Chains A and B, each alone.
Chain A
Amino acid sequence: MKIAIASGKGGTGKTTLSTNLAALLAEKEQVVLVDLDVEEPNSGLFISGELKHTEKKYKMIPEWDPTHCNLCGICQEVCNFNAVLKMGKNIMVFPELCHGCYACSELCPKNSLPMKEREMGELKAFKKGNLSFVESKLVIGEEQAVPLIKQTIDYVDSNFSEDTIKLYDSPPGTSCPVIEATKHTDFVILITETTPFGFHDLKLAVETIRELGKDFGVVINRYGIGDDSVETYCREEGIPVIGRIPNDRAVAEIYSKGELLYPRLPFIKKELEKIAAHVADIRKELSV
């Protein structure tokens, strides 16, 4: 079963929920936690384990080989991203702008733009007991997160069995990176807080997940602070609220040290168990 943990607004507790839920579920079953927030991955700060595997991740971009080039300019013409330019007697490639569509390379009549690997990030896999952890980090200066997210999901798909629970700690927002991280999952948990910012961004996230046609539930973090707008909204929209994590300064303090919450805070464990029970119900329903 694949579950994404997402939110519109950043800092609402995605990583807190992902790491704690993964560790709790792993007390009984095989779990892999995957950090897909490749721009700023944080889950690894809370999960320890033995490093099992490291690999560099590459995206493919064209590189000009002038040997047979007749400067026909087709490459420039077919690139919709202005990533290939003909300048005088040279062909220039701008790797940050390239989306890796291969059009210039494959439509070149002289094969003068072969695709080459360019490092965009690094993937690491860890394991401790039942809990595996996979993270990828985008190289600073690389602008596109989506290709790395895609390759990380592919790695997890081919290295973990069907019956392993897969938890995806997703990037924030509502644009392409979060779509990529959630589109192949069975269930999405949206985590929010009951503040005007949290509520506003939750509505955006709900729109996104509905657009994808995914089954989802909401976890309210910092419950008790702010107002009851989130709760009212979920009731009116028929969205299940599957957990409520109380607002407590102790949570912020334990989190700040990079420690898991539930071993120390029983009220957190109780809420996580509710969420885990909901996940188990959905798993039965879908038989995944």
Chain B
Amino acid sequence: MKEIVVISGKGGTGKTSITASFSVLGGKDLIVADCDVDAADMHLLLEPDFSSDEDFYSGELAEIDQAGCIQCGKCAEVCRFDAIPVVDGTYVVDPLSCEGCGYCARVCPENVITNHVNLVGNLYISNIKTGTKMVHAKLGIGNENSGKLVAQVKNEAKSLAEKENKDAILVDGSPGVGCPVVSSLSGATFVVLVTEPTVSGLHDLIRVHELVKKFKIKSGCIINKADINPDQVGKIKEFLEKEDIILVTEIPYDENFTKAMTLGKTIVEHDDKLGGLIKEAWKNIVKLA
């Protein structure tokens, strides 16, 4: 099974708009996964029905039973995350800082600290307007287990694709180079890098490609907003050539992307010219993956 993952390093390059377009083009042959769980947006264009909703638990959080606490402070002493401050004279757990390592509970002489599983978000399986299913999620505020939630979204998508005999899964990946994007990339058969010809676009492309290289995955690049800076496009192409990355297509800067989005549509449903470029790109990607 093919696993096509779209990432960008830098935000705002058009990654999600392009991925949603690919979903429309791939239609029923795909299962779609939104792994940008931190700020998931693809549902705004694909009309999911949220038909299945499941709580997602991951990691642990410490809790102090105040009734039995003797205020010895041993817990705070061993905590490396400053997660047990003294508030109004008592030791309390700050859930936003607690990493759930459980060290405090192990040293508490009164055994009044317990770890309980942490609800980190919700996982959804939806029917979407392209006639297939999308796996997506909403991460709870300030949660740190987004990597695990990303992995779960992908695993669900994979097993759905197997069950329903689909050719491929299409993944909207996470930004950055850290834990969520590492989870997005693992298992991918082809990576689409969406970039823009800005100094920051290139800078972030270089960093995220370094990560992709570690996974030894084939990749292709889409240069979005390609006409805002021809010099920078030249530099990106140089880099692609040097690193053996396929240039999939170049898309001009066009406010129709935003207009389509405002109508809740993908660009392929709204603009034939831009839509044509993306169609061509998708055909190539399917061949390459």
Contacts and interface: CB of A to CB of B under 8 A. Distances in A.
B177 A11 contact: no
B34 interface: no
B39 interface: yes
Interface in A1-23: 8-12, 15
Q: Is the interface of A mostly helix, strand, loop or mixed?
A: loop
Interface in A225-271: 225-227, 247, 249, 252-253, 255-258
Interface in B205-255: 207-208, 210-211, 214, 225, 228-229, 231-232, 253, 255
Interface residues of A, number: 59
A183 B139 CA distance: 19
A107 B39 contact: no
B80 interface: yes
Given A45-B199, A179-B142, A138 B39 contact: no
A281 interface: no
A172 interface: yes
Interface string A52-83: 00000000000000000000000000101100
Contacts of A196: 41, 44, 261-262, 264
Given A45-B200, A80-B60, A101-B99, A138 B16 contact: no
Contacts of B144: 146, 175-176
A170 interface: no
A42 B203 contact: yes
Contact of A143 (B141, B182, B203): B182
Contact of B178 (A101, A145, A249, A257): A145
Contacts of A80: 59-60, 100-102, 115
Most A C-beta atoms less than 10 A away, residue of B96, B141, B253: B141
A27 interface: no
B41 A144 contact: no
Interface in A176-227: 176-177, 179, 183, 195-197, 200-201, 204, 207-208, 211-212, 225-227
Interface residues of B, number: 60
B41 A9 contact: yes
Contacts of A257: 198-199, 229, 231-232
Contact of A9 (B12, B177, B203, B253): B12
Contacts of A249: 228, 253
Nearest to A208: B141
Contacts of A225: 255, 258
B139 A174 contact: yes
Nearest to B120: A175
Contacts of B86: none
A144 B115 CA distance: 22
A252 B228 contact: yes
22 contacts: A9-B39, A11-B11, A12-B11, A40-B176, A42-B203, A45-B199, A80-B100, A103-B103, A106-B103, A107-B103, A143-B179, A144-B179, A172-B38, A172-B175, A195-B261, A197-B261, A204-B141, A211-B141, A227-B262, A252-B253, A257-B199, A257-B229
Interface of B: 9-13, 16, 38-39, 41, 44, 59-60, 78, 80-81, 96, 99-103, 106, 115, 139, 141-144, 146-147, 175-179, 182, 196-201, 203-204, 207-208, 210-211, 214, 225, 228-229, 231-232, 253, 255, 258, 261-262, 264
Closest 7 CB pairs of A and B: A11-B12, A10-B11, A101-B101, A11-B11, A173-B38, A39-B176, A258-B199
